[in-house]
């Protein structure tokens, strides 16, 4: 299953919430960037990385991992810089979670 498809149900729910206080406005804005077919893969990838960083800051690590993987999927073969940044964010996230095996895996992919 496509990683983006796994995330969509949350945002479909979020779009239908009348009270924006329940759903971070920046998150919605970034997600809209990822869904706009007119945006380039690099632009979408940057938005996914930002989404991952926001979720990571909110201790939603599983969602952050999904966003970073979306960024990687969009950028592989197109932007070494963005792939590297997503790998780095995954490595740091796993490192801080004390998942050393995955941290090493992503630190190594980063190079």
pLDDT in tens, 6-41: 555 555 555 554 444 445 788 888 989 999 999 999
Nearest to 33 by CA among 18, 48, 12: 48
Q: How far is CA 42 from CA 5, 15, 37, 75, 108, in A?
A: 19, 24, 12, 6, 22
- pLDDT for the residue 6: 55
For residue 76, what pLDDT band results from cuts at 50, 70 and 90? very high
φ, ψ for residue 36, nearest 5 deg = -80, 115
For residue 22, what pLDDT is reported?
Answer: 43
**How high is the pLDDT of residue 2?**
54
pTM of the model: 0.79
Per-residue pLDDT at 19? 45
| Interhelix angle 80-96/41-57, nearest 10 degrees | 10
The tokens describing 99, both together, are 């998942």
């Amino acid at each position: 299953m496509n990683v983006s498809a796994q995330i969509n149900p949350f945002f479909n729910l979020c779009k239908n919430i009348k009270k924006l206080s329940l759903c971070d406005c920046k998150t919605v804005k970034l997600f809209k960037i990822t869904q706009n077919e007119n945006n380039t893969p690099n632009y979408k990838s940057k938005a996914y990385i930002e989404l991952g960083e926001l979720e990571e800051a909110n201790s939603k690590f599983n969602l952050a991992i999904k966003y970073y993987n979306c960024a990687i999927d969009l950028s592989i073969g197109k932007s070494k810089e963005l792939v590297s940044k997503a790998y780095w964010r995954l490595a740091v996230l796993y490192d801080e979670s004390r998942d050393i095996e995955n941290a090493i895996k992503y630190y190594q992919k980063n190079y």
